[in-house]
Amino acid sequence: MKIAARELNLIFITLVIIILAGTYLALEPSVQEWSEFREQQEDLQARLDSANVLLDSRPTVEARLSEFRQGLPSYPPGRKVEADLLLALERMAGQHNLVLTRREVDAEREAGDLFETSITCYWEGDLDALVRFLHAQQTQGAISDVRQLTVQPATGRGEAPGRLRGNFTMDYAYRRDPGESETSPAEPAPEPEAVQP
């Protein structure tokens, strides 16, 4: 049997196609795996670059954190700060004509080397008083922050139009400094007695 050149070419092309298809089918899982490895490598490189940027900014962040901590009020260990916080809150509300009808103080929470407490207040007043109070509270910086606020019209007999009521939860942050004494700033330390010669 004699095979013509044309048939030889067709057999050769068919064999090449079969070999290429078999190679593709055999290598497809490896190619897919290499592609996934490449994507993972790019993702890890992006995460590494991000971590390096964060590490490079560490001194700046630590300086800002130290400045932030120094701006927080400090109290000696064991001292109840709720009374001081309530007095300051009452004073600020009174300055802005906001009436606090009820207050609920949550327990102190430790957050690393900082401490937090929350005070929930029920209030009454007009919108202008509320806005001025919240603005004054916000200008104190990171010492306090309003976590929750509700506002509704004050309904009832004899209520002036435009009168509002509601509640808010104020979170306070502060430090405990073991180096401070237990005496409050309002109480002067006793003077030492003079030594008689």
Examine the domain organization and report whether 80 and 146 are in the same domain: yes
Examine the domain organization and report whether 45 and 104 are in the same domain: no
pLDDT tens-place string over residues 50-90: 999 999 999 998 888 888 778 788 888 878 888 888 888 89
Of 155, 161, 148, 96, residue with least CA distance to 122: 148
Examine the domain organization and report whether 26 and 95 are in the same domain: no
Of 142, 161, 145, residue with least CA distance to 153: 161
Count of domains for the chain: 2
Q: What is the pTM of this model?
A: 0.57
Written as six digits, the tokens of 106 are 């949550």
For residue 11, give its domain range: 1-56
Q: Using DSSP, how many helices (H) and how many strands (E) does the chain show?
A: 4, 6
Cα of 156 vs its chain's centroid, Å: 39
Residue with tokens 């795996």: 33
Instruction: State yes or no: pLDDT of 195 exceeds 50.
Output: no
Written as six digits, the tokens of 104 are 């609920």
